[in-house]
Chains A and B, each alone.
Chain A
Amino acid sequence: MFIRLVKFAWKIIWRNFRRTVITGLAVGLGLGSLMFTEALMQGMTAHMIQTTTESWMGDAQIHRDYFLDTRNINPTINRPDSILSMLDGDSTVSFYTARILSPASVTSTTELKPVTFIGVDSETDPEVTMLEAAVIEGSYLSGDSTEIIIGHKLADDLNAGPGDVIVITAAQADSGLSSSMFFVSGICRFGSDNLDRYSAFINLTTAGEMLGIPGEIHEIAVKFPQAEAGADTSLGFWRRFSVFGNSALGWPELAPQVGSMLSMVDISMAIMAVILFGLVVFGIVNSLFMSVFERMYEFGVMKAVGTRTGTITAMVVLEAFWIAVISAVIGSVIGLLIIWITSKTGISFGEIEVSGIVFDKPIYPLLNLSRLRLYPLFTLILTTAAGIYPGIHAGRLNPAEAMRKSL
């Protein structure tokens, strides 16, 4: 009986071909757009994480416990040699690089600007950050103690270019001041205001000597095989390297604004899904009610010849189920096609900055089937469920009244 009802419902929905196609297209377009939005958000999320971790931060960092709170010169990493040696032997770590950070002022012949003065290991840094790749003019650090790389915005502010002399002044560990003269070796462009306007990069050894903390470091940036590991709280890495008064933190803790953005993306998607699926449910209920009212006499006849209330309800729900299947197929095809095309071409937003992250390159929607398959599934469940109310209405019709009113 059930199989016959399923076949009956399939035949019924094609009685009004135009309405079924339009309903399927309407729901399908909604589903397709939701799938595309999800893929786009996934692409934006990946871009945000990539920009945050690959450009400079790394997937994780190790500092002295309270360094990030004060960013003072003194809380350097405790027992740095032990930590670096442990990192060498840690299988979860792909690369790492050590840094020194300090607030400083930079002076050119015409301007004085505040900067974060960063000492980098020119040999290991390219494995972890984009500094070398970000150099757009001049050259990367070669190990010379007088070379410095500055961001293109800072270069504009200072009216300085490759070969020009600038002076860095910073507080030393013993509270004295230290000034050193540098030659601009390179101009870099990260796409982040913080790095392009407020940072200057010199060699690690030079920075340590200038600040009076030779052999000490403030920060170790770590790269895992996958950036996602930086957000994996179950990773043993955090416990192993939060030792000797040091703390190991992943990128969600280091860049909470990115974590907030990602949460916002999830919430936005949930709100969009609720609105869209709400519209879908009302659309289907409306469509099925139209169908039920058109077939009042038929339902009257069905009841007259002995069809039970539950059977009629089941038939209308099965009609909704078939519309759901058609809609899910249409929506999935539309959604996957648009995602596939745009994942090849990318979508350019021009140059916008969100939470310090610049979207200056095309965003490529990501085809994540484990998430995307949920939307057709929800469409199937909700659209079928939307048939229950019209189905109950049809099932409860009084046969004589149904036939009388539809005449």
Chain B
Amino acid sequence: MTDNDVIVAEGIVKTYDDSGVPVHAVRDIDYTLQKGEFTAIIGPSGSGKTTFLNVLAGLDTPTEGKVWLSGKLISDMSGRELSDFRRDHIGFIFQAYNLFPVLTVEENVEYVMLLQGVPSGERHDRVMDILEKVGIAEYAGRLPMQLSGGQQQRVAVARSMVSRPSLVIADEPTANLDSKTSGALLDMMRRLNEETGMTFLFSTHDEVVMQRARKIVVLQDGKIDGKASPEEC
């Protein structure tokens, strides 16, 4: 493990046993994600992408194996430590945007900073700054339902980045968007990656995302089936 490693995963196995029949979602994966990467995990539905991301982000515990996040072993952290760690180091983007419907765009974006205890004035400045960057500053006072799908996902991107995490994890971020909006969103995210040096890890089976990723990890039946550049896909 080097200082440049954001995530190191060794021998990750995740098995679900909800209905008495074991389902092997992730099988014995070793994986390392380095700072500044803009990587897509691709694979068909049911290949284990979301489960793999959840385990890497500390949202779920692996059945077997170990995960280090920024050099810290997840299994050594208490629930509270892990929660605080995610709050301070990881930004999340979900496929269904998952903004809080009763909060305005500004309130949604500042939520994580509120948890971090950032002072009110600084919160406002940082929210407006990131909303400018994602191009929706004029919608700061609107509720999510008053925005289009693409605009809502921009808000989700702003929310994931405003706390200045070292890693942004996005699970199928373009699943509910048309190809034009998806392309614009990915271009924006890549620009932010280049400007800020933040690490991005996506799961997707969207070609628009694959084309803009700098690295691609192929997942098949819960196992890494290879790594490739976008040109090879």
A-to-B contact residues, CB < 8 Å: 1, 4, 8, 11-12, 14-15, 297-298, 301, 303-309, 311, 398-401, 403-404
Query: Quick check: is B166 within 8 A (CB to CB) of the other chain?
Result: no
CA–CA, A305 and B57, complex, Å: 10
A306 and B102: CB pair below 8 A?
A: no
Would you list which residues of chain B between 46 and 84 have a CB under 8 Å from chain A?
50-51, 54, 57, 59-60, 79-80, 83-84
Cα distance A297–B51 in the bound complex, in angstroms: 15
- Is A304 a contact partner of B86 (Cβ separation < 8 A)? yes
Instruction: Convert B89-113 into 0s and 1s, putting 1 for each residue whose CB lies closer than 8 angstroms to a CB of A.
Output: 0011010101011110000000110
Cross-chain contact of A15 among B84, B92, B98, B101 (Cβ < 8 A): B101
Which chain A residues border B115 with CB–CB below 8 Å? 1, 305-308, 311
Provided the pairs A4-B114, A311-B115, A400-B54 are in contact, do residues A304 and B103 lie with their beta carbons within 8 angstroms? no
Residues 115-142 of B, flagged 1 when their CB comes within 8 A of A and 0 if not, give 1110000000000000000000000000
The interface residues of chain A lying within 8 Å CB-to-CB of B159 are: 305
Given A398-B60, A401-B60, A305:B112 Cβ within 8 A: yes
Most buried by A among B54, B83, B87, B103: B83
Are B114's CB and A400's CB within 8 A?
A: no
User: A297-B98, A301-B92 are contacts. A306–B60 as well, Cβ < 8 Å?
Assistant: no
Closest 3 CB pairs of A and B: A306-B87, A400-B60, A11-B102
The answer to whether the Cβ of B30 comes within 8 Å of any Cβ in the partner chain is no
Cα distance A348–B117 in the bound complex, in angstroms = 62
Minimal beta-carbon separation of A77 from chain B (angstroms): 77
Q: Does the CB pair B57–A15 fall under 8 Å?
A: no
Residues of B within 8 A of A400 (CB): 51, 54, 59-60
Interface size for B (C-beta < 8 A) is: 30
Cross-chain contact B103 with A306 (CB below 8 angstroms): no
CA distance A12 to B107 in the complex (A): 14
Looking at the assembled complex, report how far the CB atom of A238 sits from the nearest CB atom of chain B, in whole angstroms. Answer: 63
Q: Are B98 and A301 in contact (CB under 8 A)?
A: yes
* B190 shortest CB reach to chain A, Å: 22
**18 pairs across A/B with beta carbons < 8 Å?**
A1-B114, A1-B115, A8-B102, A11-B102, A15-B102, A297-B96, A298-B98, A304-B86, A305-B86, A305-B112, A306-B85, A306-B87, A306-B115, A306-B116, A307-B87, A308-B84, A311-B115, A398-B60
A311 to B159, CA, bound (A): 19
| Interface residue SS majority, chain B | helix
B88 interface hit (Cβ, 8 Å) = yes
* Residue of A298, A306, A311, A403 touching B100 (CB-CB under 8 A): A298
User: Is B102 a contact partner of A12 (Cβ separation < 8 A)?
Assistant: yes
Q: Are A309 and B102 in contact, CB atoms less than 8 angstroms apart?
A: no
When chains A and B are docked, how far (Å) is the Cα of A167 from the Cα of B73?
107
Q: Name A310's closest neighbour in chain B (CB-CB).
A: B80
B residues whose Cβ falls under 8 Å from a Cβ of A: 50-51, 54, 57, 59-60, 79-80, 83-88, 91-92, 94, 96, 98, 100-103, 111-112, 114-117, 159
Chain A hits for B94, CB < 8 A:
301, 403
Are B103 and A303 in touch, CB under 8 angstroms? no
Known A15-B102, A297-B98; judge A306-B83 contact (CB<8 A): yes
Q: In the complex, which residues of chain A have a beta carbon less than 8 angstroms from the beta carbon of B54?
A: 399-400
Given contacts A11-B103, A301-B98, contact A306 B117 (CB under 8 A): no
Q: Across the interface, do A307 and B83 meet the contact criterion of CB distance under 8 Å?
A: yes
Residues of A within 8 A of B91 (CB): 305
Q: How far is the CB of A173 from chain B (nearest CB, A)?
A: 87
User: Contacts A398-B60, A400-B54 hold; do A308 and B102 have CB atoms under 8 A apart?
Assistant: no
Chain B residues contacting A303 (CB-CB under 8 Å) are 59, 83
State the CA gap A301–B100 with chains docked (Å). Answer: 9
- Pair B103/A8 contact, Cβ less than 8 Å: yes
Complex formed: what's the CA distance from A298 to B103 in Å? 13
Most B CB contacts (10 A, CB to CB) among A11, A304, A308, A398 go to A304
Contact B84 A306 (CB under 8 A): yes
Q: How far is the CB of B12 from chain A (nearest CB, A)?
A: 14
Once the chains are docked, how many angstroms separate the CA of A8 from the CA of B57?
A: 27
Contacts A306-B83, A306-B84, A400-B54 aside, 4 further interface pairs with beta carbons under 8 A come to A304-B92, A307-B115, A311-B115, A400-B59
State the CA gap A15–B79 with chains docked (Å): 30
Task: List B contacts of A401 (CB < 8 A).
Answer: 60
Output the nearest chain A residue to B110 by Cβ-Cβ distance: A4
- Chain A residues near B85: list those with CB within 8 A: 306
A304 touches B59 (CB 8 A): yes
| Residue pair B80, A308 in contact (C-beta under 8 Å) | yes
Chain B residues whose CB sits within 8 angstroms of the CB of A14 once the complex forms: 102
Asked if residues A309 and B83 are in contact (CB atoms below 8 Å), the reply is: yes
Q: Which residue of chain B lies nearest to A396 when distances are taken between CB atoms in the complex?
A: B79
Provide the bound-state CA to CA distance between A209 and B117, in Å. Answer: 94
Q: A306-B88, A309-B83, A400-B59 are in contact. Are A1 and B117 (CB under 8 A)?
A: yes
Chain A, residue nearest B95 (CB): A407
| A306 lies within 8 A of B112 (CB) | yes
By a CB distance below 8 angstroms, the chain B residues around A399 are 54, 59-60
Chain A residues closer than 8 Å to B86, beta-carbon distance: 304-306
Most interface-central of B51, B59, B91 (chain A CB within 10 A):
B59
A15–B143 Cα distance when bound, in Å, is 13
**Residues in A whose Cβ lies below 8 Å from that of B96:** 297
Complex: A282 Cα to B39 Cα, angstroms: 49
Say how far A315's CB is from chain B's closest CB, in angstroms. Answer: 11
- A313 → chain B, closest Cβ, in Å? 13
A291 to B79, CA, bound (A): 24
A305 touches B87 (CB 8 A): yes
Cα distance, A321 to B115, chains bound together (Å): 22
List, in ascending order, chain B residues with CB within 8 A of A403's CB: 59, 94
